[in-house]
């Protein structure tokens, strides 16, 4: 077996990795936004729920979160009479990663929101915007830019965490590599994992490049 | 009478910041509010446009009576859309260009179309000689430029009254003049304004009336030449002579 | 559906191996920290040739999953030792303990992350303060230890705490190379009893408690550092 074949086989796993990444990132952001909103409420129940969620999830290894999603979610859903045992593993992988990352994103959103200059909100009200417009047009975009470095780090962390879905039997790039190295009986084992590492690195470098471009575009917006 | 404030009181914890302010403003008047730091000048302006809610007091604005302690959301929005404010530290929207800073209020406060708003914003920028900077973000502008855009942002809305909170005190000395010039131009056009300021020359020469604030009260109020040339109150005399050493 | 007796029965067994998790995390962090200091020196002093190499390696480590790094070390370290033996070094590539492999991989991983964290803490120190201190006649070395380092540490501890907690969570994969820590024990018990959620919840509780304890320790450390060593006040 040639190294080029190794590369090609590994790349066959890449789409799964990217699908996992994209969907779990989107859902993590949605849940994270909701949590940040709850966290910022003065209502003690909403606030307490968000704190509890963050405390629990941030102390949980992503690998364990995936296992809990895979074995736990069907049981939880059965409690309300819905059978999701037959759902694709990919969905549980996305759920586990999204739940895990939502907590980190929520914290990033919350702290970014709090660090937007209060004068910006007042200026928006004073030119006649209502509170919703002020939030959507002035506060949110600025909070987003403040949160951006954290979001970038979290996305990169998520790229790496997708490798853990092997634990619930999803065939992504990483588990393809494990299969290859087992088939090969010791040949090229090191090379397989080095190439795998390089592919992940390229994905991460591309993400960093994208964020750099974006930051450059908004370089004069100093929030 | 365009604006009539009655007995505004406001305290933070045990700190009585406004102890019953009465003030009336005729259309076209420029009122300068002077007084020592911490006397409640900013707080008064913030109560007028509801950035702060008063403990008690009322406001008669454009023939509408508003209870400052219990304004409705509708009243707040209505009042804000007929007033404008210029901040000490400009508070230009950091995520908007100079042009958008000005047009945003026209679009979202006054339901103008985007193109019309942008056109009006361009005119406003042109008037202060900053049309060339229309696509610049606040971080690319000097303090003086930012504040002049802040003023344009306020006046483009055609407000009945503009509230200025020390608009020049964050500026380098050589930039103060340009901003004061813009303000004088406005005053000459008949714009009603309340100006909190430490610029005594402005208070004296541009303002029609001056109110001297001390410790949450208006100690003295009158035509600007009267206040400056014949202050009645000892506190006013002290304040003016202390300030006089500054310039 | 949920066997709470099973969960309670397995809890002490899983807890019993928690020290392995903590041991690995602490040893890797300490070694990683020492390497990180070297990395920071190379990068901040911009030492020729070394700087770009180190920068690339750090980027590489930060851009790849720890599980992949672990396998690179797992397969690569013995080969390295074989090569060294060939060059006459007295090394024994056979039967390398799994713990040595794990510590090597995790130390390298930690060093890359910690070095970036130290650098950003260093850059966030207001250097005008250092200049001011030198201007009023403080010796540069003293200004460094009195002004820059304290601020650096204050900026660094919260980050360091996060990195350490991440590392604890990252160790949940070393069962793959045969180390029996929390996750491994949970898996073993699960596969015997065919009950998964019970043992995983046990593991969850243990991880959360460990993370909580260390987070508190770091917070206390930060306060002690600020109050006693540097005479500045800050409460939790
Ligand atoms: N949000 C607030 N919470 C508590 N106290 C406040 C608040 N805003 C103002 N104060 C207090 O109210 C008093 C008056 O403040 P204000 O800003 O109105 O003074 P000022 O006359 O504008 O002073 P300056 O000339 O320095 O701007 C001060 O003692 C200040 O500490
Ligand atoms: Mg003030």
Torsions phi, psi for C120 (to 5 deg):
-70, -30
Is B201 close to ligand 1, i.e. is its CB under 6 Å away? no
Mutate to test the interface with A, among C56, C58, C63 (most CBs of A within 10 A): C63
Q: Calculate mean pLDDT across residues C154-172.
A: 92
Domain residue spans of chain A: 3-217
B84 within a domain of the structure (yes/no): yes
pLDDT at C233 > cutoff 60: no
Q: Calculate mean pLDDT across residues C130-149.
A: 82
pLDDT at C234 > cutoff 50: no
pLDDT at A211 > cutoff 70: yes
Cβ contact A223–B94 (<8 Å): yes
Provide the pLDDT for residue B244. Answer: 67
Question: Which residues on A lie below 8 Å from C162 (Cβ)?
Answer: none
Mutate to test the interface with B, among A126, A139, A144, A219 (most CBs of B within 10 A): A126
Whether A and B touch (3+ CB pairs < 8 Å), yes or no: yes
Report the topology of domain A3-217. Answer: MetI-like fold (1.10.3720)
Q: Per-residue confidence at C3, pLDDT binned at 50, 70, 90?
A: confident
Query: What three-state secondary structure class fits A158?
Result: helix
Q: Per-residue confidence at C229, pLDDT binned at 50, 70, 90?
A: low
Provide the pLDDT for residue C50. Answer: 95
Instruction: Please tell us whether the domain made up of C4-235 is placed in CATH 1.10.3720.10.
Output: yes
Tokens matching residue A127: 């030119």
Tens digit of pLDDT at every position of chain B (247 positions): 899 999 999 999 999 999 999 999 999 999 999 999 999 999 999 999 999 999 999 999 999 999 999 999 999 999 999 999 999 999 999 999 999 999 999 999 899 999 999 999 999 999 989 999 999 999 999 999 999 999 999 999 999 999 999 999 989 888 898 899 999 999 999 999 999 999 998 999 899 999 999 999 999 999 998 999 999 988 999 898 887 655 4
Q: pLDDT tens, C24-74?
A: 999 999 999 999 999 999 999 999 999 999 999 999 999 999 999 999 999
Question: Which residues on B lie below 8 Å from A222 (Cβ)?
Answer: 94, 137, 139
Ligand 1: residue of B11, B18, B36, B39 to mutate (most ligand atoms within 8 A of CB) is B39
Question: Which residues on A lie below 8 Å from C71 (Cβ)?
Answer: 177, 181, 189, 193
How many independent structural domains does chain B possess?
1
Ligand 1: residue of B32, B36, B42 to mutate (most ligand atoms within 8 A of CB) is B42
Is B14 close to ligand 1, i.e. is its CB under 6 Å away? no
DSSP string, C167-232: HHHHGGGGGGGT--SHHHHHHHHHHHHT--HHHHHHHHHHHHHHHHHHHHHHHHHHHHIIIIIT--
CA–CA gap between residue A62 and residue A168 (Å, rounded)? 12
Question: Please, what is the average pLDDT of chain A?
Answer: 94
B141 within a domain of the structure (yes/no): no
Of ligand 1's atoms, which has the minimum distance to the CA of residue B213? 21
B116 within a domain of the structure (yes/no): no
Provide the pLDDT for residue C236. Answer: 44
Q: Calculate mean pLDDT across residues A3-23.
A: 93
Q: pLDDT tens, A87-118?
A: 899 999 999 999 999 999 999 999 999 999 99
Q: Per-residue confidence at C19, pLDDT binned at 50, 70, 90?
A: very high
For ligand 2, the distance from its centroid to the CA atom of residue B214, given in whole angstroms, is 13
Nearest CA in chain A to B93: A120
Q: Calculate mean pLDDT across residues A123-148.
A: 95
Provide the pLDDT for residue B247. Answer: 46
Q: Per-residue confidence at C231, pLDDT binned at 50, 70, 90?
A: low
Provide the pLDDT for residue B173. Answer: 86
Q: Residue B83's domain spans which residues? A: 3-91+161-243
Q: For chain A, what percent of residues have pLDDT higher than 70?
A: 99
A56 close contact with C: CB closer than 8 A: yes
Is B40 close to ligand 1, i.e. is its CB under 6 Å away? yes
B237 within a domain of the structure (yes/no): yes
B87 close contact with A: CB closer than 8 A: yes
For ligand 2, the distance from its centroid to the CA atom of residue B79, given in whole angstroms, is 22
Residues 40-99 of C with CB under 8 A from A: 59-60, 62-69, 71-72, 75-76, 79
Instruction: State the count of interchain CB pairs (< 8 A) between A and C.
Output: 105
B183 within a domain of the structure (yes/no): yes
Provide the pLDDT for residue C133. Answer: 83
Q: pLDDT tens, C178-214?
A: 999 999 999 999 988 888 899 999 999 999 999 999 9
Residues ≥6 apart with Cβ < 8 Å to B219: B35, B212, B213, B233, B235, B236
B233 within a domain of the structure (yes/no): yes
B7 within a domain of the structure (yes/no): yes
Cβ contact A164–C76 (<8 Å): no
3-state secondary structure C55-122: HHHHHHHHCCCHHHHHHHHHHHHHHHHHHHHHCCCCCCCCCCCHHHHHHHHHHHHHHHHHHHHHHHHH
Provide the pLDDT for residue B42. Answer: 96
Query: What three-state secondary structure class fits A206?
Result: helix
């Amino acid at each position: 077996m040639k190294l080029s074949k190794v590369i090609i086989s590994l790349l066959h796993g890449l789409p799964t990795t990217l699908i996992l990444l994209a969907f779990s990132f989107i859902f993590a952001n949605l849940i994270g936004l909701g949590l940040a909103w709850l966290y910022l409420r003065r209502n003690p129940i909403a606030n307490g729920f968000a704190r509890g969620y963050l405390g629990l999830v941030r102390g949980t290894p992503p690998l364990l979160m995936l296992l809990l999603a895979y074995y736990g979610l069907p049981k939880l859903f059965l409690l309300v009479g819905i059978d999701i045992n037959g759902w694709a593993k990919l969905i549980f992988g996305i759920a586990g990663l999204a739940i895990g990352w939502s907590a980190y994103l929520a914290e990033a959103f919350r702290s970014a929101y709090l660090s937007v200059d209060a004068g910006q909100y007042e200026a928006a009200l004073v030119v006649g915007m209502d509170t919703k417009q002020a939030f959507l047009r002035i506060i949110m975009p600025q909070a987003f830019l403040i949160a951006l470095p954290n979001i970038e780090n979290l996305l990169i962390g998520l790229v790496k965490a997708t490798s853990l879905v092997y634990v619930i039997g999803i065939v992504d790039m990483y588990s393809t590599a494990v299969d290859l190295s087992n088939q090969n009986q010791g040949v090229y084992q090191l090379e397989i994992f080095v190439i795998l590492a390089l592919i992940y690195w390229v994905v991460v470098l591309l993400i960093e490049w994208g964020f750099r471009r974006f930051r450059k575009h908004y370089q004069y917006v100093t929030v | 009478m365009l604006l009539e404030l009655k007995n505004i009181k406001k305290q933070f914890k045990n700190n009585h910041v406004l102890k019953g302010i009465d003030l009336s403003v005729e259309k076209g008047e420029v009122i300068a509010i002077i007084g020592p730091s911490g006397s409640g000048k900013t707080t008064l302006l913030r109560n007028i446009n509801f950035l702060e809610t008063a403990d008690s007091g009322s406001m008669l604005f454009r023939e509408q009576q508003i209870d400052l302690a219990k304004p409705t959301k509708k009243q707040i929005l209505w009042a804000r859309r007929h007033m404008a404010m210029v901040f000490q530290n400009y508070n230009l929207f950091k995520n908007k260009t100079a042009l958008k800073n000005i047009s945003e209020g026209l679009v979202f406060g006054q339901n103008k179309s985007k193109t019309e708003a942008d056109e009006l914003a361009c005119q406003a920028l042109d008037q202060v000689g900053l049309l060339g900077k229309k696509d610049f973000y606040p971080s690319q502008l000097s303090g003086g430029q930012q504040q002049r855009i802040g003023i344009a942002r306020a006046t483009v809305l055609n407000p009945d009254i503009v509230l200025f909170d020390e608009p020049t005190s964050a500026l380098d000395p050589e930039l103060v003049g340009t901003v004061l010039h813009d303000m004088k131009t406005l005053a000459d056009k008949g714009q009603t304004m309340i100006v909190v300021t430490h610029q005594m020359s402005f208070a004296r020469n541009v303002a029609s009336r001056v109110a001297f604030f001390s410790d949450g009260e208006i100690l003295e109020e009158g035509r600007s030449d009267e206040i400056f040339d014949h202050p009645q109150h000892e506190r006013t005399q002290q304040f003016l002579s202390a300030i006089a050493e500054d310039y | 559906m949920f066997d709470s007796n099973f969960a309670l029965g397995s809890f002490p067994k899983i807890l019993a191996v928690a020290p392995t998790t903590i041991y690995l995390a602490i040893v890797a962090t300490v070694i990683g920290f020492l390497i990180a200091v070297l990395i920071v020196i190379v990068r901040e002093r911009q030492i020729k040739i070394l700087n770009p190499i180190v920068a690339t390696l750090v980027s590489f480590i930060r851009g790849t999953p720890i599980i992949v790094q672990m396998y690179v070390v797992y397969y690569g370290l013995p080969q390295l030792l074989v090569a060294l033996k060939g060059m006459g070094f007295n090394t024994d590539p056979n039967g390398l303990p799994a713990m040595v492999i794990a510590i090597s991989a995790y130390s390298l991983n930690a060093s890359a992350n910690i070095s970036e964290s130290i650098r950003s803490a260093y850059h966030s120190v207001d250097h005008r303060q250092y200049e001011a201190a030198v201007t009023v006649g403080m010796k540069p070395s003293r200004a460094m230890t009195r002004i820059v380092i304290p601020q650096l540490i204050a900026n660094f501890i919260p980050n360091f705490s996060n990195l350490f907690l991440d590392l604890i969570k990252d160790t949940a994969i070393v069962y793959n190379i045969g180390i029996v820590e929390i996750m491994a024990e949970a898996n073993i018990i699960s596969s015997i009893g065919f009950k998964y959620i019970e043992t995983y919840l046990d593991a969850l509780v243990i991880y959360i408690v460990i993370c909580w304890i260390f987070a508190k320790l770091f917070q206390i450390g930060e306060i002690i550092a600020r109050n006693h060593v540097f005479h500045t006040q800050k409460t939790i």
